[in-house]
Amino acid sequence: MATGLINLAALTKAELQALTARWGWTRYRAAQLWEWLYRRRAATFDVMTNLSVEMRSELVRRACVRWPSVVERRVASDGTRKLLIELEDGRRIESVLIPDEHRLTLCLSTQVGCTLDCGFCLTGTMGLSRNLKAHEIVGQWVAAQQELEPHPDDLPARVTNLVFMGMGEPLANLAQLADALTRLTDPHGIAVPPRRITVSTAGLAPQIAELGRLAPAVNLAVSLNAADDATRARIMPLASRYSLDDVMAACRAYPLGPRRFITFEYVLLDRVNDTDDDARRLAALLRGLRAKVNLIPWNPFPGAPFRRPSDDRVARFQRILLDRHLPTYVRKSKGLEILAACGQLHSDANRAPERPPMPLAVS
């Protein structure tokens, strides 16, 4: 790859307009370029036939289009695909394509690693290398779409839903996340409906409010995982910075349109946060909120100090919440055999360090 070329994929729409203006091009030409990049996903300039030959030649001399690339893929028996994606600096992240009966969900990463170190999450063992740039976040969508062309007969031809639940804490990289959301939802580009996008957070209370201001139409999911501060602090170090009162206050102030809910994710850990009392505390905590709960029986990974609760215990926990009129679902984990399920992403999973045993709660 020649050096000194401007990567158009790395530019915001305003930056692209400013660049082409410096070249003496009209604003309309910048709009055409934007559509080629995001709607048609052009990787070369020769296909941009609504630009003159002279313009295309100038682009070849001055610019390029570089997206992150897939360097490895693993496919589970349930159709889940985990993509190992390499960035320009050689760092690697993981994204996951999750097929369902009527949709194809892409789970996106926002950081290389994660700094939160939640005890039940493999990604936290990596530490944080850096935040992803907006075009690296969007580039995961580009890479996923390329994986589907030509697509297998058992998968849709296009990603239908996006969840920011991959590697990293999305709201710890809010500026680049907001830029990526703008590109993903732009009606002149990728045009993903905001209602089909969910941003998950471990509970960065101030940033929840800021997300509501920057991208109020996307869905919010909060990884709660305990209904009391003591238990939450044991498994989520972030809880020492933001209490449940802080998180709940941010959630109650979050802008919700008609028929919209906040999703609360709850990873169930055997004899840590899965008792009947835990369920009752959770129901009381969410009372009065437009909320629904996704229960996630813990997905194991090498060296972790936890156990997955029994199916009976999961069902009992769900029943307590349902009896209190709280919509509650048990998430079916996909891709377990390839470490692609919730909390299992790691760009080098075979070298995950062991953690010391977690002391069991006394109930």
* pLDDT of amino acid 156: 54
Do 94 and 153 belong to one domain? yes
Q: Which entry of 64, 94, 121, 265 is annotated as an active-site residue?
A: 94
Do 80 and 133 sit in the same domain of this protein?
A: yes
181 within some domain: yes
pLDDT at residue 102 in the model: 86
In a 10 Å sphere around its CB, with 0-12 CB exposed, 13-18 middle and 19+ buried, how is residue 251 labelled?
Answer: buried
Which DSSP string corresponds to 310-324?
PHHHHHHHHHHHHHT
Residue 257 scores a pLDDT above 80: yes
CA separation for the pair 230, 223 (Å, rounded) = 16
Tokens of 17: 């307009």
State the pLDDT at residue 333. Answer: 80
On the 0-12 / 13-18 / 19+ scale of CB atoms within 10 A, 350 is exposed
Provide the 10 A C-beta neighbour count for residue 323. 12
pLDDT band at residue 332 using 50, 70 and 90 as cut-offs: confident
pLDDT given for residue 316 in this prediction: 98
Give the Cα separation of 111 and 79 in Å (integer). Answer: 25
- Asked whether the predicted pLDDT for residue 326 surpasses 90, the reply is yes
Domain termination residue (choose one: 64, 89, 110) = 64
Q: Structurally, how many domains does the chain consist of? A: 2
Is 362 contained in some domain? no
| Token pair recorded at residue 239 | 């809880």
94 catalytic per annotation: yes
In tens, the pLDDT along 259-268 reads 999 999 999 9
Residue 363 lies in a domain: no
Give me the pLDDT at residue 361, please. Answer: 39
Q: How many CA atoms lie within 13 A of 20 on its CB side?
A: 21
pLDDT band at 303 (very low <50, low <70, confident <90, very high): confident
Q: Identify whether residues 59 and 140 lie together within a single domain.
A: no
Domain co-membership, 172 together with 200: yes
What domain range is 190 assigned to? 69-351
Do 12 and 123 fall within a single domain? no
Respond yes or no: is residue 342 known to be catalytic.
yes
29 and 134 together in one domain: no
Over 90: is that where the pLDDT of 337 sits?
A: no
* pTM as predicted: 0.91
What value does the mean pLDDT take over residues 325-342?
82
- Do 77 and 57 belong together in one domain? no
Q: Active-site residue among 35, 149, 342, 354?
A: 342
* pLDDT score of 77 more than 60: yes
